[in-house]
Structure 1
């Protein structure tokens, strides 16, 4: 059962609008570029500037759109080992070129350099069996690496995997711990799930007041289902007032006093 969804960044959404050119559709040009030897070094600032320029060509933002030029620049930066470019290139392969195996290759290169987004996305590829055989243990491994860097979505996914026992032994306490880390970064779905765990007593004693508090926080952060869960809480007005006070206290403390 696949219970996770791939992360769609702003960049990946924009990439969906690009129509692949012959350069993007053939292996020949890619192979030629990959065999080139890079013999110079440039500063981090230059790398960032070149990456932005490659995107300008890809998206036609501030430059006349030239997908071939933008792709060539992005690939060159990736071959130099620039993790941010490697991650962006992987997204291009996923969402525009639709070559999951090539995407996994570039996600891995960036992930091995500690790029949190790439680690999360590589975990998702393993979880969904895209570009690699489905492997929940590998998904856990890469989600954990990103989660330990504070990546909220990876923390949420890792919390789910511990909670449901996917790729790891079922452990509600660990699941709740990771979900809370995501919730403290305003992850609305994590907040909603924490509320549900308080209702059911999973990984924590049952506490309907705390459940209502987390549902209220989830609603505040945009989860549409949280309101229905609040309405179904069967709590009296005194407990609801207390839960709302606790939610406000949590917000005022930037999630340090929840």
Structure 2
């Protein structure tokens, strides 16, 4: 409702009305504004529309633009895009800058090239919104060649005019290093300028930077310091007030704020409400977020929102559908459809989809697996870097290249990825792929172990058990780390615990540890358990049990077990005497470097006739070891 008009307002209205009636377009335009705002007369939108039309028909650009906005928004007139286009065109032909921008917006759905041309003309005339639209076109390659430098230029001009969306976009470019060097301080500066105008996406970005410890940095030369999250905190009601009721992206970010507790108290119900409003406006990220919330509550409608988002090209929605179809959460499993959705998400370089496909393709489609891991790795995803390192180390899908493997391991390790830290530790300890460095190995294992990596814990335990290169032997620490690894289910650590108990004169506990690990398939534990049964350490002597465990360890390639099997077959202890089998195992053990087996092989060869010797050597040649899972690398 407009305030009461003063006597002066009424006098001005009367004078303007006289001029308008004789056809002065400027007066007609002013009169329309007076009717629209109730200045000098009662508010009357019909009269406002009638007079602005008269001014527009007389060729006044401002009136033509205003009439176009009425038709575009449906304000005081039925919405009509054709009429809006016609009036914006008339105003634009006379150089009306904002009409040029609005004309570009109308062109955008059908002809991005024409839209970009309109944006460019309006941007050159200084229209901030047009500068933003032109920057977005250059950033995405919509109607113009993709050009990050030109995008940065136009974002900058719009941002300096105070346009919050442009300030936020500049922040994103600096945060991601798009067209400029990556600079968290500069990103925070522009995010803050946008957030000060209650721009929800910028507020979310600042909160996330604060959570990562980047939001309070000082930029040299600007004398500014980031305001902390608490300084930006507002009540939920305040955010609801400042939200543009028609801005889907703003609504999505308000949902994100309430879901994650960014600047407001966490409130899943409000988050869902904001997401739903944006999702109904076909905002793809909001649709995915809504699906995520509903899925957490076990609601079947989640998949409908995921599908809406996925069909718009949203990678998060596509990945979610891939996961749901692959895991039978939509009824029966449909791996083909699941992979199809993963592929669509991966085509957009979604890291989760790339990693998932990388693992799926790792058996049989190694080259594709490498490509997936490489794309994820090049985005800085630590797991992708580690897995790409693994592919190079094993020669899966790429030529074996330890230098490249350890380069990728180091990148992942520097991000704190425990498995990569453990792999680097193993390489430093063994000298395979890297220079042998006991202290560096210890440092990498410690970093990984402190993150809960069981293999690193086991290696630490083994290093403390043996000591060396400045590390004092410490059986207490060895027990602690091996026990931690064993508690996490790492079987080799259970076997090493057995060795530690044997060294501290506790054969019964040693036998328990070896039995548990041997039953889980650990070859070292199987060998030690066989020795214990053969010698009666911690248990009654049992040669048949010893033979069985020696056989299992030998099958996994343990040379000492193979040599002992040869002796048992040669002497008939624990098994029927068999000179051919004895020689077979002596051959295998000696080939693996067992010196005692080499001497026994020579003796047994002298005792066999040519046919028996040939058969023993054939059996040895045909033998293939079972997979050994206890390697440190």
Q: TM-score, normalised by structure 2?
A: 0.29
Structure-to-structure mapping, 1:48-63, within 5 angstroms:
48-63=316-331
Residue 214 of structure 1 corresponds to 481
Residue 359 of structure 2 corresponds to 91
Relative to 1, partners in 2 of residues 1:228 and 1:54: Cα closer, same or farther, differing over 3 Å? same
Residue 22 of structure 1 corresponds to none
Deviation at 1:189, TM superposition (A): 2.4
Which of the numbers 195, 198, 201 marks the counterpart of 2:464?
198
Q: Do the aligned partners of 2:316 and 2:345 also contact (CA within 8 Å) in 1?
A: no
Q: Do the aligned partners of 1:208 and 1:233 also contact (CA within 8 Å) in 2?
A: no
Any stretches of 5+ residues in structure 2 without a counterpart? Answer: 1-141, 143-282, 290-313, 507-633
Residue 188 of structure 1 corresponds to 454
Q: Tell me the C-alpha RMSD between the 2 structures.
A: 2.5
In terms of Rg, which structure is larger? Answer: 2
- The CA deviation string for residues 165-215 of structure 1, in whole angstroms up to 9 with x for no partner, is 121111111111111111112222222211211222234222233223323
Residue 396 of structure 2 corresponds to 130
Structure-to-structure mapping, 1:94-105, within 5 angstroms:
94-95=362-363, 98-105=364-371
Deviation at 1:235, TM superposition (A): 7.3
Residue 379 of structure 2 corresponds to 113
Aligned length: 196
* Alpha-carbon distance in 2 for matches of 1:164, 1:134: 18
Deviation at 1:61, TM superposition (A): 2.3
Residue 32 of structure 1 corresponds to none
* Alpha-carbon distance in 2 for matches of 1:225, 1:144: 30
Relative to 1, partners in 2 of residues 1:230 and 1:55: Cα closer, same or farther, differing over 3 Å? same
* Alpha-carbon distance in 1 for matches of 2:358, 2:488: 30
* Alpha-carbon distance in 2 for matches of 1:154, 1:89: 20
Larger RCO, structure (CA 8 Å, separation 6 or more):
1
- The CA deviation string for residues 18-54 of structure 1, in whole angstroms up to 9 with x for no partner, is xxxxxxxxxxxxxxxxxxxxx9x96485533321211
* Alpha-carbon distance in 1 for matches of 2:346, 2:376: 9
Residue 255 of structure 1 corresponds to none
Which of the numbers 58, 64, 68 marks the counterpart of 2:336?
68
* Alpha-carbon distance in 2 for matches of 1:221, 1:202: 27
Structure-to-structure mapping, 1:128-207, within 5 angstroms:
128-203=394-469, 204-207=471-474
Moved more, 172-181 or 69-78: 69-78
Q: Do the aligned partners of 1:159 and 1:177 also contact (CA within 8 Å) in 2?
A: yes
Moved more, 220-229 or 133-142: 220-229
Relative to 1, partners in 2 of residues 1:136 and 1:198: Cα closer, same or farther, differing over 3 Å? same
Q: Do the aligned partners of 1:108 and 1:118 also contact (CA within 8 Å) in 2?
A: yes
Relative to 1, partners in 2 of residues 1:235 and 1:186: Cα closer, same or farther, differing over 3 Å? farther
Deviation at 1:132, TM superposition (A): 0.5
Q: Do the aligned partners of 1:216 and 1:226 also contact (CA within 8 Å) in 2?
A: no
Q: Do the aligned partners of 2:358 and 2:372 also contact (CA within 8 Å) in 1?
A: yes
Relative to 1, partners in 2 of residues 1:68 and 1:221: Cα closer, same or farther, differing over 3 Å? closer
Any stretches of 5+ residues in structure 1 without a counterpart? Answer: 1-38, 237-258
* Alpha-carbon distance in 1 for matches of 2:402, 2:344: 32
Relative to 1, partners in 2 of residues 1:42 and 1:122: Cα closer, same or farther, differing over 3 Å? farther
Q: Do the aligned partners of 1:94 and 1:103 also contact (CA within 8 Å) in 2?
A: yes
Deviation at 1:137, TM superposition (A): 1.2
Which of the numbers 467, 489, 499 marks the counterpart of 1:229?
499
- The CA deviation string for residues 54-97 of structure 1, in whole angstroms up to 9 with x for no partner, is 122233322443333322221111111212111111112114xx
Relative to 1, partners in 2 of residues 1:53 and 1:232: Cα closer, same or farther, differing over 3 Å? same
Structure-to-structure mapping, 1:33-48, within 5 angstroms:
43=285, 45=289, 46-48=314-316
SS in 2 for 1:80: coil
